[in-house]
Amino acid sequence: MPTRNKSDKRDAIYEALKATKEHPSAETLYEAMREKVPGIGLATVYRNLNLFLEDGMAISVGFVNGKERFDANCMPHTHFICEKCGTVIDCDDIDPAEIKVELMEKYGAEANSMVLRGLCALCNKKVSDG
């Protein structure tokens, strides 16, 4: 891990990312932090999120409505993204290990993430309700 200076802002951003389950975008995280950390800039949030990725402290879940979403939980776990409402769900009960083995055996590729997309329970219900 590269050497970084101490930075209260960075620490605050990381704590905020760890504290939420909503897999926020840079913008969302920024808005949520403005209250607690007055004067923080959007560029600082973007900058530090990229450092977290670089340092293996966070992962990118993917893009939802054109915005990248982040997760401080780097343990390999499956994500579900609802294409209707944009919610990102941790699917801790769905083990990607078997699929990863299959992928390696059949394609020689090393997967480090698995993302499912579709309609979440709530949006799916709304659709079937008409």
**Which residues would be at the binding site for its own copies (CB under 8 A)?**
62-63, 80, 82, 89, 91, 93-94, 96, 99-100, 102-103, 106-121, 124
Give the distance, in angstroms, between the CA of residue 2 and the centroid of all CA atoms in the same chain.
22
Annotate each residue in 35-54 with x if it binds DNA (CB under 7 A) or - if it does not, as one string. Answer: --x-xxxxxx-xxx-xx---
Among 5, 75, 128, 130, binds DNA (CB under 7 A): 5
C-beta of 8 vs 98, nearer to DNA: 8
Angle at 30 between CA 14 and CA 81, to 5 degrees: 80
Q: How far apart are CA 97 and CA 94, in angstroms?
A: 9
In the 8-state DSSP scheme, what is residue 80? E
Burial of 71 (0-12, 13-18, 19+ CB in 10 A): buried
CB of 72 to DNA, least distance (A): 16
Helix, strand or coil, per DSSP, at residue 49: helix
C-beta of 33 vs 114, nearer to DNA: 33
Contact flag: residue 126 with DNA (CB under 7 A): no
Q: How far apart are CA 42 and CA 101, in angstroms?
A: 40
CB of 39 to DNA, least distance (A): 5
| Interaction site with DNA (CB under 7 A) | 3-10, 25-27, 37, 39-44, 46-48, 50-51, 63, 66-68
